[in-house]
Amino acid sequence: MPDFQPSGLSPWKILDRRIVYECFPYLRLERQTVELPDGRVIDDYHRLDTPDVCVICPITKEGAFIMLRAYRHGIGHPSLMLPGGVIEDGEVPIDAAKRELLEETGYSSDCWSALGDFTPLSNYGCGRLYIFKCTLVRKIQMPNSDDLEASNVETLTKDQLSEVTRLGQIQSLSSITAISLAMCNDL
């Protein structure tokens, strides 16, 4: 992150805050009264706090991508996505990524690289999204996920992945971002 404060981009002053809804550890919605640098007061700014998460782009030694197909209630239908999940309190992001990959797919790898960490909704807060790529993945067990939904593990070639992306079968922005970063990282 740049270590400078551009002119006119001062932080907002929080005058008041009130928790509107909280379901620990998944979600907290806060209503804030904030004062902008120009003196205007906004009395209903909302901040959303969610846990940090990771998403993993796993690739086999043959160059195939390991994906999950699962129903996602938020969008109301099945979608392809990469494995990932919540980073537990005190857990290092890479350790969470390794755990999630194994739980959700049954695959493991010794070849990991971090592709960055981001704020998915920077205007509202939220947790951090940590993106990883792992190569030379190999299946070592059956998936053993405790997620609410059942999922199917699918293996896609790079061409197949491009096609399902073009057809809109991947609805998750974090999955699309991770795939893009993993492919750019290969250039």
Q: Which CATH number characterizes residue 100's domain?
A: 3.90.79.10
Query: Does one domain contain both 101 and 132?
Result: yes
Query: Does one domain contain both 114 and 74?
Result: yes
Query: Does one domain contain both 105 and 163?
Result: yes
- How much is the average pLDDT of 151-156? 94
Task: Using pLDDT thresholds of 50, 70 and 90, give the confidence band for residue 25.
Answer: confident
Task: Using pLDDT thresholds of 50, 70 and 90, give the confidence band for residue 123.
Answer: confident
Task: Using pLDDT thresholds of 50, 70 and 90, give the confidence band for residue 171.
Answer: very high
Query: Does one domain contain both 64 and 29?
Result: no
Give the pLDDT score at 4. Answer: 58
Give the pLDDT score at 111. Answer: 97
Which residues constitute the domain of residue 87? 53-185
19 vs 10, higher pLDDT:
19
Res. 48: pLDDT tops 90: yes
Res. 128: pLDDT tops 70: yes
Res. 185: pLDDT tops 80: no
Res. 107: pLDDT tops 60: yes
8 vs 75, higher pLDDT:
75
Give the pLDDT score at 90. Answer: 94
Rounded distance, CA 105 to CA 156, Å? 14
Residues whose CB is less than 8 angstroms from the CB of residue 34 and which lie 6 or more positions away in sequence, other chains included: 12, 13, 14, 15, 41, 42, 45
Query: Does one domain contain both 57 and 91?
Result: yes
Count helices and strands (H / E) in the chain: 3, 11
Q: Is residue 71, in this structure, part of any structural domain at all?
A: yes
Q: Is residue 118, in this structure, part of any structural domain at all?
A: yes
Query: Does one domain contain both 151 and 66?
Result: yes
- 94 burial level (CB within 10 Å; 0-12, 13-18, 19+): middle
Query: Does one domain contain both 17 and 106?
Result: no
Extract the tokens encoding 146. Answer: 């405790």
Chain mean pLDDT for the chain? 91
Extract the tokens encoding 113. Answer: 């690289």
Query: Does one domain contain both 121 and 61?
Result: yes
Report yes or no: 182 and 175 within 8 Å, Cβ to Cβ: no
Please state the φ and ψ torsions of residue 38, each to the nearest 5 degrees: -85, 5
Task: Using pLDDT thresholds of 50, 70 and 90, give the confidence band for residue 83.
Answer: very high
Give the pLDDT score at 136. Answer: 97
Q: Provide the number of structural domains found in the chain.
A: 2
